[in-house]
Structure 1
Amino acid sequence: MITALKEVLRVAIPLMVSTGMFSLVLFVDRTLLLWHEPSQMGAAMAAGNLFWVSVCVFVGIASMTSAIVSQYIGAAQPKRVGQLLWQSVWFALATIPLFILIGEFAESLFRWTDQPEHLIPMQAVYFRILMWGGAGEVLQTALSGFYSGTHRTRTIMLVSLASGCLNLVLDVVLIFGLGSPSPETGQRFLELGIAGAAIASTLSFWFKAVCYAVLLMKPTERERYGIFRGIRLNRRMMKRLIYFGLPAGLMYVTEAGGFSVIVLQIGRLGDVPLQATTMAINFNMIAFIPLVGMSIAASVLVGQHLIRSGPGNAIRCVVAALLVGWGYSFVWAIAYVFTPGGLIALYSLSPTGVDSEAAFAIAETLLGFVALYVILDATQLILAGALRGAGDTWFVLTAGLTVSVGAVIIGVWWQPSTGRFQDPGAAPAALNALDWWWWVITGWICTLAAVMAGRFAQGKWQRMRMV
């Protein structure tokens, strides 16, 4: 077990740092928007979720590059890696016109979901700009899969740190601007607010893709993995990528879609519940997103060990990943229970209004829900990654789809009667509905953890192969 733990940490720690940088960027991004204009933070939350729903099925397909690469390495077929990478590149570039087209319907999408009228223009701008970076996100996911699949996760960490620093600098400049406010408009040079945050994120997506593309042009990589020889479209390999990746992508879209429905329902309650939810989710993401790195590590280690040394070592690596994930999540659970006020106080470092003060108080109580499910969230994420690494992607999809749809149906069907928080006398009903939706989120995650644990224990995944 000690050997497995060392192997997991060697692969996972750079990935956790990489994904942790992503969560830090999101946290700072939304906090800066709160300081610039509180309603912009809630708008960015809803629009960012819809962006992820729009691109995640394609990101999920591209993400299977890492697991398939790991199996090619385990099978001693490194020359096939270059062919696979090029299929993922063509796939990513083909998404560009689709994403731009979706962005053109931004305002209609938010109006259709009955968002507060004053938030819709901000949400539409943020979403439309992010869609220009959608293909960049798909491409960088595919290319980073080469480095995770070959266990060179330190490269992913360094690229992510560089991209994160670029994003943070651009956030500060493009949200708040430079220099003194103009006497005519009251705005600073380049002060773009929520649009600036979206531009910063879009540029960082493409920056990461370019970094990986440059690194892959190194002579040693080109020769060992047949990078240039695989440039042609290979329909058989493209079909394999889509066959194993589509369930992962659809799993992402069902989970993200369900979560977006919940956030949009909370948005209907008013600015304050949406701001409070965004604050709590931001801290949840700080704990959750680094565990995506652990999930990727479990996926690539399971894929490689199944081919190279059998299921025994794969199981030991998954157990080691769970132990690390549980320990990490437990620390956050303690913080959510005993210091919620100190965490939420980070948002109050800039002058805020009465509504924001109310959101701070509500957000502290919502962190109690996060503490309830954070360890089980780690469990379902790591086990789902292990199952995908073996090729059991269709079960992960079916289970995720069933649980996600069930959670949304239950939430909508039994949602308490509500009004907007700001309406006279409606605050208690709105808060009651807010608590209901957070119970739905908690039950959803607990159920996913139970289902993934049952499938892993069953052991059918041990006989699966993708190459």
Structure 2
Amino acid sequence: MGSNATLNPMIDQENTSYRRILRIALPMVVQGLIFAAMLLTDRIFVSHYDLVSFAAVGTAGDLALAIGFFFNGTIAFANDMVAQYYGAERKNMLASPVWAGLFLALVFGAFMIITLPISREFFALPFFDHSELLVQEEKTYFSYMIVMQSVGLIQFALVAFFIGRGKTLFSMIVAVVGNLVNIVMDYFLIFGNGIFPEMGIAGAGLASVLGVITSVTFAIIFFLFASREFKGILRPRFEPDIIKRMLKFGVPAGLKLGLEATGYAFLLIALGKFGDATVAAAGIGYGLQNFVYMPVVSMATAGAVVVAQERGANRLHNLNVIVRRVLILTVSYASIMLLIFVLIPDFLIALYGSGEEHLDLELLDETKRIARYFLMITGLWLIPDAFFNVYMQALKALGDGRYLSSRIAVTVLFTMILPPLILMNFTGEWVQYAIYLTAVAYVVILWVLFNARYRSGKWKGHKVID
């Protein structure tokens, strides 16, 4: 099949076309936008309820994501394994990564729940000097988010069966329905509307749990329906070799995601030292950045699915064209969003909080003042982040996760952990902006490193499937 593709340029044109990429990417972009909208709505609702709670949603939510990203990044490598088996036309192996992922989901989920009483105490460390009220809110929201992450691992394992085959519409429906439930329940549970009690930040957390339970339910239903076409996929299978391969390539991929999220979480927690207004402003900057980050990651992930399918079919000559076209799509989107950030920053910031009498208006004004500067800094990393994510996702799909995780570990340490630790010893308003700026250095350095790695071709020796 690979040799025929080489001889027939029409096949190459079809396999590398924008149409093929967009057919896989668009449902994932919608999924990413809905997830970003859910996060935005979650945080906007909480910001209208209480600003200290809003600050806690940022710090606790990002730390929970950092922990969850390691585990779901490992399991999500099933996408790439399914894609390579699909490209190699080995349909009898398509369900094997799914069952390996389900096994690991149960193990990882249990671990997160068991260690929750210990991990939630991180916010109380004297080093970070968070207010007592902020710490209490952080612990509450973090607990719910860890439960959400634990349940969500099952979703990641099941949707891999569809994403790897390029049937991303199914994964989009799974995510969209769950996120819509989350948004609706936010309205009822945070403020106590209708028959529901007023729960504040706990309501936001519970809404997230209910949303992910809905997503998992739909993922199970779709997997059951898929068994009509793919006989035998419902038969549980424990295949140590598949699990070993998933851990070999997936753990570095998950470590990559976890390390990156940890760096961003650390920045937010470090900024908490400068007061509730600063950490709330950082939450606004990161929240708005999600509308760029999530679709970019979704499109880069879709490109990685195509890359993995072509790798499985041994059509390596198609990879450069695919990566280049995904770069054009993602950088174009990031550029449009950059213009929006530059032209209407005040409108975007005004979405968070308003003149409600119960809010601390002085704290609100200070938050919005700082957020304007944070948003300008956020704009600096949008385009470099698009390049970084496309190369990163392509290398991950090709089994180069060990290289990715090692470089990310070093870069996170020397850009988003050590510099803030040093800067926290200085005084002055400039310090908080300098800390926030370290994220720009992070994405620029990794863009350069991953671009060079991809072009070196050193990933060609990796074999993701047997």
Q: TM-score, normalised by structure 2?
A: 0.92
Spell out, residue by residue over 1:119-164, the C-alpha distance to the aligned partner (whole angstroms, 9 max, x if none).
1111111111222222222111121111110100111122222112
Matched, 1:341 2:346: yes
Q: What is aligned with 1:318?
A: 323
Spell out, residue by residue over 1:229-265, the C-alpha distance to the aligned partner (whole angstroms, 9 max, x if none).
3x13211111111111000111112111122111111
Q: What is aligned with 1:388?
A: 396
The CA deviation at 1:178 is: 2.2
Q: What is aligned with 2:63?
A: 50
The CA deviation at 1:411 is: 1.1
1:133, 1:416 → 2: CA distance? 32
Spell out, residue by residue over 1:293-343, the C-alpha distance to the aligned partner (whole angstroms, 9 max, x if none).
112112111111122251221221111110000000001111112211121
Amino acid at match of 1:255: E
2:422, 2:55 → 1: CA distance? 25
Matched, 1:145 2:145: no
Q: What is aligned with 2:442?
A: 444
Spell out, residue by residue over 1:172-192, the C-alpha distance to the aligned partner (whole angstroms, 9 max, x if none).
00001125xxxxxxxx84110
Q: What is aligned with 2:412?
A: 404
1:369, 1:235 → 2: CA distance? 47
Q: What is aligned with 1:26?
A: 39
Amino acid at match of 2:305: V
Q: Is the 8 Å Cα contact of residues 416 and 432 (structure 1) preserved in structure 2?
A: no
The CA deviation at 1:221 is: 2.9
2:109, 2:451 → 1: CA distance? 37
Q: Is the 8 Å Cα contact of residues 28 and 302 (structure 2) preserved in structure 1?
A: yes
The CA deviation at 1:455 is: 0.8
Q: Comparing 50-59 with 196-205, which one deviates more in the overlay?
A: 50-59
Matched, 1:372 2:374: no
Gaps of 5+ in 2: 1-12
Q: What is aligned with 2:259?
A: 254
Q: What is aligned with 2:298?
A: 293
Gaps of 5+ in 1: 180-187, 420-428
Cα-Cα RMSD: 1.8
Q: What is aligned with 1:224?
A: 230
Q: What is aligned with 1:75?
A: 88
1:347, 1:98 → 2: CA distance? 35
Q: Is the 8 Å Cα contact of residues 15 and 293 (structure 1) preserved in structure 2?
A: yes
Q: TM-score, normalised by structure 1?
A: 0.92
1:390, 1:32 → 2: CA distance? 40
Q: What is aligned with 2:6?
A: none
2:27, 2:133 → 1: CA distance? 41
1:375, 1:138 → 2: CA distance? 30
Amino acid at match of 2:214: F
Q: What is aligned with 1:359?
A: 367
2:258, 2:180 → 1: CA distance? 28
The residue matched to 1:217 in structure 2 has which SS?
helix
Amino acid at match of 1:323: I
Q: What is aligned with 1:130?
A: 145
Spell out, residue by residue over 1:214-235, the C-alpha distance to the aligned partner (whole angstroms, 9 max, x if none).
11111x5355263123x13211
212, 217, 220: which one aligns with 2:219: 212
The CA deviation at 1:67 is: 0.4
233, 241, 256: which one aligns with 2:246: 241
Q: Is the 8 Å Cα contact of residues 298 and 389 (structure 1) preserved in structure 2?
A: no
1:453, 1:121 → 2: CA distance? 43
Spell out, residue by residue over 1:413-455, the C-alpha distance to the aligned partner (whole angstroms, 9 max, x if none).
5415456xxxxxxxxx1x2111111221111111111111111
Q: What is aligned with 1:329?
A: 334
The CA deviation at 1:49 is: 1.3
Aligned-residue identity in percent: 25
1:15, 1:43 → 2: CA distance? 29
Amino acid at match of 1:8: I
2:454, 2:370 → 1: CA distance? 37
Amino acid at match of 1:228: L
1:77, 1:228 → 2: CA distance? 17
1:181-220 matched pairs, under 5 angstroms: 189-218=196-225, 220=226
Q: Is the 8 Å Cα contact of residues 95 and 161 (structure 2) preserved in structure 1?
A: no
Matched, 1:103 2:108: no
Q: Is the 8 Å Cα contact of residues 69 and 145 (structure 1) preserved in structure 2?
A: yes
2:100, 2:110 → 1: CA distance? 18
